[in-house]
Amino acid sequence: MGNRDYNVFFNTHTVSGIIISIGLYVIFFAGAFALFMNNIDHWEANVKPEGFVLIDYDKTIARIAAEGYDMHGRNLSIYEHDGGVNVYSAPLKDTILLKSKLSILDSSEARGRIDLHLDEKTYQKSTNQALSQKTLGTFLYELHFFDQIPTVGFYLAGLVAVFFLFAIITGVIVHWRKIVSNFFTFRLKSSLKILWTDAHTALGVIGLPFQMMYAVTGSVFCLLVVISNPINAIIPDENGKTILEKVTPVYSPEAISINNKIDLILSDFSNNKIESVYAEIHNYHDENAELEIYVSTEDIESVFNYTKMVYRLSDWKLQEYKPASEAPPYAEASWDFIHIIHFGDYGGIFLKVLYFILALLTCVVVITGVMVWLVARDKKSYSHKAKFNKSVGAIYLGSCLGLYPAIAFMFLLTKTFPAQMEHRFAWISWMFLAFWVGYTVYSYIIKSYFKINRNALFLAGVMGILIPVFNGIHSGLWFWKSLQLGYSDSFFVDLTWLICGMVTLLIALKLQPQRQKQT
């Protein structure tokens, strides 16, 4: 490669990486925790992880209707989660509200989004604030694709994923000739620039397949609708179905009792331990209404370890069937495969722990990349931009490194605020944001990279150690006895925070400032 081409790829890699660095760090750091969102939710609510719970679908549908929602044409997702029944339906569009004296909602609310958590015994709205509203695990999951930013957050995360893929490809091109030798090179006693460069390159190579996978799958998840619409207009299939309909098929249903049919379906799985059941009712009240049901068992011989059935509700005719031993059709299989590898749903807890470690390593790659950029500009030739570069660096590092103690702070808050407190999670969310923004502002004021790093680690370390203490005081589930009592998720989360807190605090106390020579 000539010098000109090398410089083009190098500068492209640097610019694209710097532009997305904060967003990318948030995606991977929050995403690392989101891998264990169910465990975190169990820890927050002080509940034991339960096995499969059979849902009363008729009562669930009756409760939704009783709440006053317009049910005509609804696509309903119904599944068990955290000791209750979750129901979700996107807002209705271009439909006429069915007028009823029973309706307690106005037109916009009745046609709006349904996002309910019902008690699994009474099928009333759950009174547990930690479950019926927002949960910590769900919040972190949504944070990793910027869902808190209205309308554009999801697409912004997709653009970050695309630029991340771009940065990976240009980075591989830049380092290709020395990618093996650089992997084994780590010069701890050299200058700061060389130290950060070696760390950035070595850790980048270690996580390369992992990072590439997330860049591709994240792009597809967040930008599928955007890229599919123009393609659909150009390339319809022979049946008139769009590409999006192939990937996320659309079906149609009507109001009918479905409990007996689901009982009959599940009886065929008596020889297997059912892990989960997920049901969707499409186009409720429509004459061609259908029930789509997925049944997962603990058999892990197949990657696509679920049985899928689609029935037309008017006559219970089987429209589609996929046994667990077979792969689904290509279009659906590709979507399922992307989902499976993105969430690590194919290798149990040990794979998710590996994903967690690799996600944190990716965060280190982001930080070291920023440090390479900053140290490279700590020269006399950049003295006219020294103040600007210092400010930008402080904001970048404060925003990224401040997320760690902010999340630890959020864990502490969930064990501080009473579960029945009104607007509990709204307060927790705002206090999390205030802490994070506050640390970024503090970083901008002090403009000391060493102090920004050390203080973030110190705060996170102290709060990480306090998290199991707060949980023990709040719930009585001290980690040394929670496992014996069957609260495995409480034990897992507490022990993880205790270890992470101790290691982080030790690193913070051992850190020593280093000076970069002016050149």
What confidence score (pLDDT) does residue 272 get? 63
- The b/e string for 485-501 (b: 16+ C-beta within 10 A; e otherwise) is eebebbbbbbebbbebb
What per-residue confidence (pLDDT) applies to 346? 74
Check residue 191 and give its pLDDT: 59
**pLDDT number for residue 512:** 79
Using DSSP's 3-state secondary structure scheme, residue 66 falls into helix
Cβ(331)–Cβ(246) under 8 Å?
Answer: yes
| Sequence letter at residue 251 | Y
Distances in Å between the alpha carbon of 444 and those of 410, 417, 451, 461, 515? Answer: 22, 31, 11, 22, 20
pLDDT the model gives residue 241: 53
Q: Which candidate, 135, 34, 35, places its Cα nearest to that of 84? A: 135
CB atoms within 10 A of CB 347: 14
- If 0-12 CB within 10 Å is exposed, 13-18 middle and 19+ buried, where does residue 295 land? buried
Q: How far is residue 453 from each of residues 45, 174, 365, measured CA to CA in Å? A: 32, 29, 15
Between helix 136-143 and helix 403-414 the angle, nearest 10°, is: 160
Residue given tokens 């982001």 in the structure block: 366
pLDDT at 279 (0 to 100): 85
Q: What is the rounded distance in angstroms from the CA atom of residue 132 to the CA atom of residue 77? A: 16
Burial annotation 42-66 (CB, 10 A radius, 16+ → b, else e): bbbbbbeeeebeebbbbebbebbbe
Q: What is the pLDDT of residue 98?
A: 42
Whether 321 contacts 293, CB under 8 Å: no
Q: What is the pLDDT of residue 101?
A: 40
Rg (the chain; Cα; Å): 26
Q: Does the CA dihedral 369-374-378-384 come out positive or negative?
A: positive
Q: What angle (nearest 5°) sits at the alpha carbon of residue 156, between those of residues 227 and 390?
A: 140
Q: Which residue stretches of the chain have pLDDT < 50?
A: 94-103, 128-132, 231, 233-235, 238, 240, 248-253, 255, 517-519
Query: Are the C-beta atoms of residues 344 and 351 closer than 8 Å to each other?
Result: yes
Residue 152: Cβ within 10 Å count: 10
Quick check: 43 and 494 in contact, CB under 8 A? yes
Q: What is the pTM of this model?
A: 0.77
